[in-house]
Each structure stands twice: as structure tokens, then as C-alpha cells.
Chains A and B, each alone.
Chain A
């Protein structure tokens, strides 16, 4: 069973449908005790970082997520979920994240090398696979380099270690990390559940990583 964490942030119904379409037995998880039954966990989210952390705390999910990921099972963070797994965010001040992954969330600058950046970054943009990595990236199996995925965000994760970066994306010339993997922890900044057939392939690959 795949658990999709529901802590009141964002559109989880689409994610539930998309994961079911690719063969997951997916369920929405609203209580920490339900995590035990999950073979993998998705941490979704849209909205403000601080709000999300508060709601995770209120729902007693923080310790539960930590013990879950220590069990070695996969955790996939999507969009805000990817950012929450990092060290901290600088969204309206400075806020601690779950500190599972060494990376901080920063706001896109409004100007990058004379280019004005329209923020939020809402568009289908290309995912450039990190060719510095030696092994085949399982998450991108059967997916070509430079495929388009759907992004909607104002913050991105600046990773401490480049070797944990699975892919980059460029916005007006500015390169940022669009996905990472640290052992069993995966983060994607784009929305696979909203990225058409290529997005579904990501979820299918995630399924195969779990049940191979």
C-alpha cells in the first residue's frame, strides 16, 4: 500500500487518482498510526512552508515521518513536500524543515543576469538529467532527457551535495535542482500527477522501485 499524507495542504485527490492509474494501492493517510501499513509514503503539499510544518506537528506526523524513513522505506516529497524534507526554508523568515535532506529552500530572485523572473514559476519546463551521476536513475527509467514537467512554485531547494541531485531545470537561465534522491528519500519539485503521460511514468517508476 502507498500512503499519501493528508495534512490539509493542497490537491491530493489528483495524486490519489494518478497513483492508482499506475497500479498503486493508494490510500490517504490522516493519522500517524496508519504509516505502519505503508510500503512507501508520498509527502505532497502546496502552500506556505511554515503552515505546512505547523500542520505536520499538530497532526503528530513529524516523529512518525522520521521513524518511517529510518525503516528504509521510500518517501517521495512532491513540490512543497520536497522542500519540507530539507533543512530550512527562508519563506517569510527562517523556518526549520524536517532536516532529512541537506538543502535549503530559497525564493527565486526577481532578477537573474538581467532576466526578470516571473514568480511563481508556473509552467511546463524541461527536466535535465544529472549526467554526473554514474548509475542509471531509476526514477527516470524510460524517460528521455529534457522532458517537460509541470511546475508551480516560488521557492526551490538549494542542495548542499551535487551528487544527490537527480535533475536540474533552468528558469530564465537560472539552474535549480528539480529532483533529488538521498538513499530512500526522493524529492521532485514538479508535479508528476499533473505532467501528463511522462508524469505518470515517474509514478510508475516509483512503483517499480518499491515492488521490483
Chain B
């Protein structure tokens, strides 16, 4: 398995934002600039997530998707607020390759089947936001980890595969934004059940966190914070160039963590015998 390194960009309105446990969103930059940086750095794929779309029932990523598709020639997955076949059609038409669905799939699982039949299984990613429960099992949440669904992740993985999903994007809400490492218990729980690609997300913070991939059938790892910090360490963002959002972090001018570049990560992977695309 040649694993993918995916750069995830959380987008709110015109800004790239990042929170911790999907909450407390801070403005970090302009999505189009970061996307370009990750493309040049050797990202295997980009993922755009409209983090407030399901909350406000809007879907506003199309402009970014169009702008991205003009200049960036790697796969792009787009999620957030996708509820209908026509939403998928619009996002794909704008230039996305895959769409990721969470809330709408949980509200009506048949939507996965309809979407997979309409656009091909490989276009439909089911996104799962998971929180560990006190007694050790993992349950699904929607709306950025706010809404409890009462669904066990193992059962849901089995269900979405039977409905024809093409890929699973698994987020550990507990680890998300913490950079403390991925939740490998959760990943093992899910990866033993999957026959479709699995992308793991939430908590990736340094090169050693990638070691678990070696020899597995896991499709790849997605990360946000660690790559964003790397971008901010080498690129200046003017905090006054943003018309909305919490720009305190940018104004502070303090970069606590130099993060990790995608090329550094890939060099490390190759040195550890973990298969990845390199140039």
C-alpha cells in the first residue's frame, strides 16, 4: 500500500480556520494560499471542509473549489453541508473529485447508496467524527462533534460499506487539533473492519506519529494543524487582511510550534520504509 498524505483545510466563510476538538476556531490564513503551498510541498490530496455548513445549512465552498481546480492538479475532496444529489453534482462540477458526507448520511443512510450509484462509489467518502466513550467504545457525532448520534462506529463502518461508500474519513474528535498523536485504538477498531480505503485524521503532530502506518492497509493520514504551523513559520499572513473571524492568533505573531512540512514527513516515511509518493 502506498499511503497518502492529505492536507486538510477547515474553511469558514472566506478564511482557513483551525480549532481544537473542532471547536474554538481561529483564523490562520487564506485557503487558496495554503492550498497552493501544500500542492508545491507534495501533498497527495487536499481536503476542504466547510466547518459551519451543516450548522447553518449553507454550502459556500464552490468558489474555493473552482479557484483551486484552476491551478492545483491533485485530488480534492470537499465536505460540509452536502445533503442532496444536486449538492454533490454542484461540488463535482466546480472541480472536486470526491465529496465527503457525514450528517446527511447519518440522517438518511440510503443517501450513501443513491450517491454511490449516481456518481460511482469512488466519489463518495463517508466522514466519521468519533468520540471515545467512558466505557471504551467509540460513538459517532455530527456537526463537528456537537451532536450525539448513539451509533457505534463499528456498526456504522459495516453499514456504509454495504451501502457502497468508496472511502472512510475517520476523525478522532478527542485528538483533533491537539497534535498529540492519532488514536490508534480507534484506528485499529475500524481498520480491522474495512475493505475500502481508510483515511485517519485527528491528532497528527510529529513524524513519529506516522509509524503505525507501516505494513497496514490504511489508505493514508490527513493532518491540518501541523502543516498549517509549518506554513505560518515560513509565510507571513497580515492579520488585518481578514474581514471576519478571530484573528487574535495571527495578531499575536507568536508561532509556538514550527510544525512539519509535507516533504519532511515524506522523507521520514521513506527512511522508515513506509511507502509514500515522493519526487
How many A-B residue pairs have C-beta atoms within 8 angstroms? Tell me: 106
Query: In the complex, are the beta carbons of B122 and A153 less than 8 A apart?
Result: yes
CB pair A123 B1 closer than 8 Å: yes
Residues of B within 8 A of A193 (CB): 73
Q: Which of A47, A116, A198 contacts B123, CB < 8 Å?
A: A47
In the bound complex, CA of A2 to CA of B96 (Å):
22
A194-B74 in contact given A13-B66, A122-B219, A172-B1 (Cβ < 8 Å) = yes
Taking the closest CB of chain B, its distance from the CB of A137, in whole angstroms, is: 20
Complex: A80 Cα to B122 Cα, angstroms: 12
B contacts with A, residue count (CB < 8 A): 38
Q: Does A23 interact with chain B (Cβ within 8 Å)?
A: no
* Interface presence of B196 (CB below 8 A): yes
Of all chain A residues, the one with the shortest Cβ separation from B220 is A123
Q: Which of B93, B219, B277, B278 contacts A118 (CB 8 A)?
A: B219
Give the A interface residue count (CB, 8 A).
Answer: 36
Residues of B within 8 A of A119 (CB): 195-196
Q: Is B119 an interface residue (CB 8 A)?
A: yes
Partner of B119, one of A47, A116, A194: A47
Interface centre among A48, A191, A196 (most CB of B within 10 A): A196
Whether B119 and A46, one on each chain, are in contact in the complex, defined by CB atoms closer than 8 angstroms, is: yes
Q: Considering the complex, which residues of chain A in the window 162-212 have a beta carbon less than 8 Å from any beta carbon of chain B?
A: 172, 191, 193-200
Whether a CB of chain A sits under 8 angstroms from the CB of B79 is no
Most buried by A among B44, B73, B97: B73
- 18 A-B residue pairs with Cβ-Cβ distance under 8 Å, sorted by A, are A14-B73, A21-B73, A46-B122, A48-B117, A118-B219, A120-B167, A120-B197, A122-B122, A123-B3, A123-B197, A124-B44, A125-B2, A148-B2, A148-B277, A152-B98, A194-B74, A194-B75, A196-B279
CB B166 to nearest CB in A, in angstroms, measures 5
Per DSSP, chain A at the interface is mixed
Residue of A116, A122, A198 near B166 (CB, 8 A) is A122
> Could you give, for residues 265-279 of chain B, a 1 whenever the CB lies within 8 Å of some chain A CB and a 0 otherwise?
000000000000111
Question: Could you tell me which B residues sit within 8 Å of A by CB distance?
Answer: 1-4, 39, 44, 66, 69-71, 73-75, 92-98, 117-123, 166-167, 194-197, 217, 219, 277-279
B121: which A residues are within 8 A, CB to CB?
Answer: 120, 154
The answer to whether A118 and B74 touch (CB under 8 A), given A13-B66, A46-B119, is no
Q: In the assembled complex, which residues on chain A have CB atoms less than 8 Å from the CB atom of B196?
A: 118-120
Looking at the assembled complex, report how far the CB atom of B69 sits from the nearest CB atom of chain A, in whole angstroms.
5
Chain B: minimal CB distance from A51 (Å) = 8
